[in-house]
Structure 1
Amino acid sequence: MQVDPRGPRFGASVTTVVLVVVLVTGSWALLAAQAVVFAIATSLGLRYAPYGLVFKVLVRPRLAPPRELEDEAAPRFAQGVGFAFALLGTVGYATGTTWLGIGATALALAAAFLNAAFGFCLGCEMYPLFRRITAKVRSEGKVPA
């Protein structure tokens, strides 16, 4: 599946705002909602994620066509990483382990901000490494394919 690379960057911008609000308010419910957004993007794909739908309906029609499309796999993996941090942060805030909530949210915020401000997708950069490691483990026969 190919996606307009401006869509994930738009989603990262919205995510940045949401995570800043979470850090300011300490709202585990808002962070849980963001975790759901990440989970949808990871499981169903970027085009069905809430921020992807907003981009598709409200933003993309106002833009020139993209110069090129990119494979969805790396940004989708990045959403999975975001989901893991948002879930961990939600558990931290909800159980009163505030340092865990703040730390996990801050790490997710740093990654979202890098993508939103500079177009650098940290999770996308991790994706090839993850693929190499899992391919190596499979080739060594430790994990069934």
Structure 2
Amino acid sequence: MFEGAPVDPRGPRFAAWLTTAVLAVVLATGWWPLLAAQAVVFGIGAFVGLKQAPYSVLYRKLVAPRLGPTDEREDAAPLRFAQAVGFGFAVIGTAGFVLAIPALGLVATAFALVAALLNAAFGFCLGCESYLLLQRLAPSNR
């Protein structure tokens, strides 16, 4: 389900910085339409593909041409899983704000923000690591 071509690891890191900025604005303002837009961004990355995700397009068109090429690649599956987890938190957060349960909106947004910031600042993708852990715990099909 979360397959895809290997990706330049600098792209997801760029996306994590943009996501961090968006989620910080949502936390500071409580403006749920921005969180809903971020949910759409997460959803495209998770369920359509990383190549079509808006932040990936920005990276490829505006940032990558200014960087030197890299031979380093990351598997897309953990990244897409991380996008799906972000999608879940963004949807729950949006619902919290829309349904006048601001604590739910703030907590869900804060969890997504922490995960995005960990990836952006330290290169630690919490969703990716969760995906790998789940893969190890899953029964083998052998």
TM-score, normalising length: structure 2: 0.93
1:55-104 deviation line (CA, Å, top 9, x unaligned):
00000000011241111111111000000000000000110000000000
Query: Equivalences for 1:116-127 in 2 at 5 Å?
Result: 116-127=120-131
Distance apart, 1:44 and its partner CA = 1.4
Distance in 1, matches of 2:95 and 2:135, equals 28
Specify the alignment match of 1:36 in structure 2: 40
Distance in 2, matches of 1:66 and 1:116, equals 19
Select the residue among 101, 105, 121 that pairs with 2:105.
101
Structure 1 runs not aligned, ≥5 long:
140-145
RMSD: 1.2
Select the residue among 40, 63, 66 that pairs with 1:62.
66
Select the residue among 18, 21, 28 that pairs with 2:25.
21
Aligned length: 137
Distance in 2, matches of 1:53 and 1:19, equals 19
* Amino acid in structure 2 at the alignment position of 1:35: A
* Amino acid in structure 2 at the alignment position of 1:11: A
TM-score, normalising length: structure 1: 0.91
Name segments (4+ residues, structure 1) moved above 3 Å. Answer: none
Distance apart, 1:45 and its partner CA = 1.2
Distance in 2, matches of 1:22 and 1:129, equals 30
Whose radius of gyration is greater, 1 or 2? 1
Distance apart, 1:10 and its partner CA = 0.3
